[in-house]
Structure formats: C-alpha cells, structure tokens
Amino acid sequence: MNVFGVPNLLFRNWWAVLLRGLAGIGFGIVTIFAPGLSLAALVLVFGAYSFADGVLLLISATGRREGQPPAWMLVLEGVANIGIGFIALFWPGITSLGLLWVVASWALVTGILEIVAAIRLRKAIKGEWLLAGSGVLSIGLGIMLIVFPVAGLLTLVFWIGAYALLFGAVMVMLSLRLRATETTHGIVRPAPKAAPASHPG
C-alpha cells in the first residue's frame, strides 16, 4: 500500500488528529457542563479552542520531509481556524449575536473544507468517511445557528458543546484508524537517489 505523500503525513501525524479530538471533547464538556458560562468566558474558551485546533490541524497536514506536499484543504482549514480564534479572542465587546455569526461562519467554512479534503483523499486513506462526517457535523451546526439566530445564549452554548463532543469523538476515531493503518502497512518512503557513477580519469 503506497501511502507516500499527503496521506503519509496524516498517518505520521495521527497523534495531532488525536489531540484535536481530545481538545474538542474537552471543549464540549466545558460548555455543556458549565451552563452558567458568561459570554466573555465562552468567547475566550471558543477562541482558545479554535486557535489550538487550527495549530494541530496544520501540524497534521504538513511535513518537513522532502517530496511530501501538504494537504492543502486541511491547511486552509487550519488557517481559517486560527483566524477565527484570533477574531474571537481579540474582538472586544462581542455580543452573543456577533459570536453566533462568528461560530456559524467558522463551522460552514471548516465543514466544506473537510468534506473536500475527504473526497480528495478517499482513494488513499481508509476512514475518509470520518473526515467527511466531521464536515457534515460542522455544516449542520452552521446551518442551525443561521436558521435559529435568536435561540439564546444558553441554547447556543449547548449546540456548540454537543457539536464539539461529537466532532471530538469522530477525530479520535479517525486518529485511531490512521494509527492502525500506519502500524499495519507501514509508511512507504521514496527510494534514495543513487549517487552518480564516478568515471576514472
């Protein structure tokens, strides 16, 4: 099974995917089981989560080894997550409606990019449906927030928390699938370039 290239990066960095899942689960637990969370605290927690998720996504989608191109759809998603995290952290006086639109935009953009990435990688990795599933969850959250913009802060917190829990669980399953595939099949690396033959003078 030749998995060299973009999928190879995901196999090698499966731990970053796992950390994304654990971060999502942790964020979901905080939001769901702290219903009295103030708007300022929610913005801070969401911004920190989005920023951390973006960094981990960039780690999982890029590499330093020669000949390994990054997974560009996942790179774009990582950049978007970091950008949204900065907006949430450094937007003073954000209202609950403003936070709703920030989260909705983040969910729609990341969802679309995850589905596109899953389609592009479907022939190279097993478990791409998990990546697509996380994209569907993200888009679903974005649509719900747009359709019901006046649901209230408590409902917003519950929706975001439930999404984060589901998303985190999906990422954990994907990381374990990537890890199992790497262990079973190994990683195929390109053969070293042969040194040019020397000719006697």
Question: How does residue 10 score in pLDDT terms, banded at 50, 70 and 90?
Answer: low
Out of 68-72, 88-92, 134-138, pick the least confident: 68-72
pLDDT of residue 182: 63
pLDDT in tens, 105-115: 888 988 898 88
Q: Does the pLDDT value for residue 4 go beyond 60? A: no
DSSP-H helix ranges across 90-192 = 96-121, 128-147, 153-185
pLDDT of residue 174: 85
Q: Does the pLDDT value for residue 194 go beyond 60? A: no
Question: How does residue 23 score in pLDDT terms, banded at 50, 70 and 90?
Answer: very high
| Cα gap 177→126, rounded to integer Å | 7
Determine whether 114 is exposed, middle or buried from the number of CB atoms within 10 Å of its CB (0-12, 13-18, 19+): buried
pLDDT of residue 51: 92
pTM of the model: 0.72
pLDDT of residue 127: 61
Percent of the chain with pLDDT over 70: 73
Closest to 85 (Cα-Cα) out of 173, 18, 23: 23
Question: How does residue 25 score in pLDDT terms, banded at 50, 70 and 90?
Answer: very high
| Cα gap 31→3, rounded to integer Å | 38
pLDDT of residue 77: 84
